[in-house]
């Protein structure tokens, strides 16, 4: 069962989240292999998408936000688009669009940042938007401080958090064909954080001690190996890394409250898309084939509209009959 574990370091402005995606991650891979002509992802792409899924769940779990979080990579290599969408209830879906073959062992930059044109975008789309309100989006390139190509997806997110959110963040991400896992620790702005109200002899008021404490915790976090994150359960990981720290653990989020595969596609949404194409375009598709077939990129669901369905869509769309001729 997939799970999210949140925790605080008692008396320090540092919080953490650990996520482990299991059955829902395998469901994403299974749907991909059974519903698309391309079949399974190469291992390199699969692991990238798994790390992105873990990262998106970590971010959605560590913000107070009532809306969807979309983590996207817009690549300039064979991976054109990789996207993960997480709802506030932790339902999530993911997809990758490939353009050409990808080696099983391709590096991150080979896949998404071949010519330094790759981007990572994070979009927060509130559930209820005010009229005219746009979703918030932050975009970062896939190069680091020295303009070097980043080769770990965790570095991309760390870079994003520091530059877009001004938050010191340390992540470890790992994925294979069975699970996708991540561990995040983040330094919180000192003012107004209620976890500081507890007793603490760790740090001084000026924040110097806090910074030291964060560095220590970040170092412990990065000592976690990819294989350990995949192989060990959450309690063992947290105990091994932080046995000398005082952790305040929250009830794990799992089952109906935890991460699970969920796709928001529906026949109505696809119908709206066809209406958006316009009657002329829809008719021209129907002249070449008997149906308009649309497959959901995220879950593989097939939606089929025949000529009668399409005529019905446009009849509904036009409550008043159009003028019956150009001569009027
Ligand atoms: Zn779908």
Ligand 1 centroid, distance to 318 Cα (angstroms) = 27
Report the separation in Å between the CA atom of 92 and the middle of ligand 1, taken as the mean of its atom positions: 11
Under DSSP, the state recorded for 9 is E
User: What's the CA-to-centroid distance between 301 and ligand 1, angstroms?
Assistant: 6
Q: What's the pLDDT score for residue 210?
A: 80
CA of 35 to the centre of ligand 1 (A): 11
In the numeric block, which tokens belong to residue 325?
A: 């001729």
Instruction: Check: CB of residue 10 under 8 Å from CB of residue 242.
Output: no
Centre of ligand 1 from the C-alpha of residue 322, in Å: 34
The whole-angstrom separation of Cα 255 and Cα 138 is: 31
Cβ atoms within 10 Å of 48's Cβ, excluding its own: 25
Beta strands, E only, 22-154: 67-74, 79-86, 91-98, 119-126, 136-141
The CB-side HSE value for 61 (13 A sphere, CA atoms) comes to 33
Assess contact for 147 and 92: CB atoms under 8 A. no
Q: Of 178, 225, 242, give the one whose Cα is nearest residue 10.
A: 242
Q: What is the pLDDT of residue 195?
A: 45
Claim: this prediction has a pTM higher than 0.75:
yes
Listed in order, the ranges of the chain carrying CATH 3.90.1280.10 are: 267-317
Cα 169 to middle of ligand 1, angstroms:
32
Q: Ligand 1 centroid vs 30 CA: distance in angstroms?
A: 14
pLDDT at 300: 87
Compute, in angstroms, the gap from residue 221 CA to the centroid of ligand 1.
35
pLDDT score at 202: 44
Q: How far is the CA of 260 from the centre of ligand 1 (A)?
A: 14
Ligand 1 centre to CA of 93 (Å) is 8
Q: Which of 118, 113, 108 shows the shortest CA–CA distance to 44? A: 108
- Cα(295) to ligand 1 centroid in Å equals 8
Q: Which residues of the chain have pLDDT under 70?
A: 36-38, 190-208, 316-328
| CATH, range 267-317 | 3.90.1280.10
Integer Rg of the chain from CA: 23
At 3, phi and psi to the nearest 5?
-155, 155
pLDDT at 118: 97
Instruction: Read off the DSSP letter of residue 149.
Output: B
For residue 129, how far is its CA from the centre of ligand 1 (angstroms)? Answer: 23
Query: Does the domain formed by 3-261 have CATH 3.30.70.360?
Result: no
Q: Where in the chain is the domain with CATH 3.55.30.10?
A: 3-261
- Cα of 191 vs centre of ligand 1, distance in Å, is 42
As given in the structure block, the two tokens for residue 110 are 């080979």
pLDDT of residue 65: 87
How many whole angstroms separate alpha carbon 59 and alpha carbon 85?
11
pLDDT of 52 reads: 98
CA distance 65 to 87: 10
Q: Residue 117's closest CA among 141, 83, 135, 149? A: 141
- 175: how many CB neighbours lie within 10 A of its CB? 25
Side-chain-facing half-sphere of 244: CA atoms under 13 Å: 6
> Rounded distance, CA 223 to CA 16, Å?
15
Encoded tokens for 8 = 């605080």
Residues, CB within 5 angstroms of ligand 1 (ion) = 263, 265, 296, 298-299, 301
Q: What is the pLDDT of residue 130?
A: 84
Q: State in Å: Cα 127 to ligand 1 middle.
A: 19
Cα(63) to ligand 1 centroid in Å equals 25
Distance (angstroms) between ligand 1 centre and the Cα of 55 equals 21
Per-residue pLDDT, 318: 54
Q: In a 3-state reduction of DSSP, which class is residue 290?
A: coil
d(CA 132, CA 136): 12
């Amino acid at each position: 069962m997939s799970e999210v574990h949140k925790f605080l370091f008692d008396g320090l402005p540092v919080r953490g989240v650990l996520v482990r995606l299991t059955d829902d991650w395998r469901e994403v891979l299974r749907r991909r292999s059974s519903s698309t002509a391309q079949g399974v992802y190469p291992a390199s792409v699969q692991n990238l998408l798994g790390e992105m899924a873990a990262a998106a769940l970590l971010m959605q779990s560590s913000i107070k936000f009532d809306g969807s979080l979309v983590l996207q990579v817009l690549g300039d290599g064979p991976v054109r688009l990789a996207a993960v969408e997480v709802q506030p209830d932790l339902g999530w879906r993911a997809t990758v669009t490939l353009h050409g073959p990808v080696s099983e062992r391709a590096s991150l930059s080979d896949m998404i940042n071949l010519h330094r044109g790759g981007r990572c975008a994070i979009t927060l789309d509130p559930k209820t938007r005010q009229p005219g309100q746009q979703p918030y989006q932050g975009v970062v390139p896939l190069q680091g401080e020295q303009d070097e190509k980043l080769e770990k997806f965790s570095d991309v997110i760390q870079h994003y958090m520091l530059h877009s959110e001004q938050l010191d963040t340390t992540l470890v991400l790992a994925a294979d064909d069975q699970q996708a896992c991540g561990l995040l620790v983040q330094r919180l702005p000192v003012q107004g954080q209620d976890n500081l109200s507890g007793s603490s002899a760790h740090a001084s008021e000026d924040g110097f001690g806090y910074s030291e404490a964060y560095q220590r915790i970040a170092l412990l976090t990065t000592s976690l190996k990819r294989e350990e994150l995949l192989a060990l359960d959450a309690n063992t990981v947290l105990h091994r890394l932080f046995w000398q720290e005082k952790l305040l653990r929250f009830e794990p989020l799992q089952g109906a409250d935890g991460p699970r595969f969920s796709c928001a596609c529906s026949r109505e949404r696809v119908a709206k898309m066809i209406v958006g194409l316009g009657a002329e375009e829809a008719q021209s598709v129907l002249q070449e084939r008997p149906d308009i077939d649309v497959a959901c990129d995220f879950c593989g669901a097939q939606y089929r509209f025949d000529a009668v369905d399409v005529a019905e869509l446009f009849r509904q769309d036009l409550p008043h009959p159009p003028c019956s001729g150009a001569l009027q």
